[in-house]
Amino acid sequence: MSTDPKTILHETEAGMTKAIDYLSHELQGIRAGRASPAMVEYVKVDYYGSPTDLKSLAVISSPEASTLVIKPFDVSSLQAIKQGIEEANLGVNPQIEDKHIRLTIPSLSGDRRKQLVAQAKKVGEEQKVVMRNARRDGNKHADTLAKQDGTHYSEDQISTLKDDIQDLLKKYEGKIETMLKKKSDDILTA
């Protein structure tokens, strides 16, 4: 990191923003009540020996609330796509029909809904840990800044920087809580 408080704060916030982006991506993959292409977009498919995201290999659509249709750009990849979906353990059974794959999404039981909420919370907690690590790193850099010879930063400036880092953490943890509440509500009510 750099040797000024503004850069330390900016880089700490960048680390927290990455955690939010990752959580957003992960929550899209946790299904609520209706079928969403986001459920399978990032399923890894062994495409000619290279693990490839499904969204790069096919058009994914949701013609009905409980159905996904996957139309591969290369029809010869149907089996590999089917196998990738099965290995992703999504609780769906892919059916090959002519030149596409149909996924019928079963309705969620009460227990399954609770499992999905728990899964979402687990991912959220993991990202809070990532943010706390970003805070720790930012605080370490602030301490290093205070100890450097020839710097002109007072104890008050370093203390203010650490307070600003803590405020960032609170702000981003609040965003995580909001995202988790919205996803939990979607799962439980859909």
Q: CA dist 54 to 64, 72, 88, Å? A: 20, 9, 11
Residues 42 and 85 in one domain: yes
pLDDT for the residue 1: 45
Asked if 65 contacts 26 with a C-beta cutoff of 8 angstroms, the reply is: no
What pLDDT digit, counting tens, does each position of 10-53 carry?
999 999 999 999 999 888 777 666 777 878 888 899 988 889 99
Domain end (from 60, 85, 104): 104
Domain count along the chain: 2
Residues 146 and 79 in one domain: no
CA 126 to chain centre: 10
pLDDT confidence bin for 105, thresholds 50/70/90: confident
With residues binned 3-state (H G I as helix, E B as strand, rest as coil), the percentages for the chain, rounded to 5, are 60, 15, 25
> What domain range includes position 128?
5-28+109-189
Residue with tokens 């996904």: 68
